Amino acid sequence: MESLKNPPVKAMAYPDAQSAVDAVLEAWLPRLIASNEVLMAALVRLRESYLTGTPPEAAGEALAQAKAAIEQAAMVQKGSHFI
């Protein structure tokens, strides 16, 4: 069985270390903020579901949203381009 290979990625040249750090932060920070917003929305929805006494079997959509938010946050933390 052939293993799947990622396409080649071109290396970026930076004039100094600070420029490289700035570029990484500029790429990563917006995804982190978006991920945090999705996590916050999922937590609010779970809290509302709990406070209104929604039975666990009826909370499937809120739980699915929370699961997706957690998976997205994990991908962003690893540096993946998930968002």
Binned at pLDDT 50, 70 and 90, residue 81 comes out as low
**Domain residue limits at 67:** 24-78
Over residues 54-66, the mean pLDDT reads 87
Helical spans, DSSP H, in 1-83: 17-51, 60-78
2 lies in some domain: no
Over residues 39-63, the mean pLDDT reads 89
CA distance 15 to 11: 13
pTM to 2 decimal places: 0.62
Count of structural domains, the chain: 1
46 lies in some domain: yes
Q: What is the pLDDT of residues 3-49, one digit of tens each?
A: 567 777 777 787 888 888 888 888 888 888 988 999 999 999 989 98
pLDDT for res 1: 47
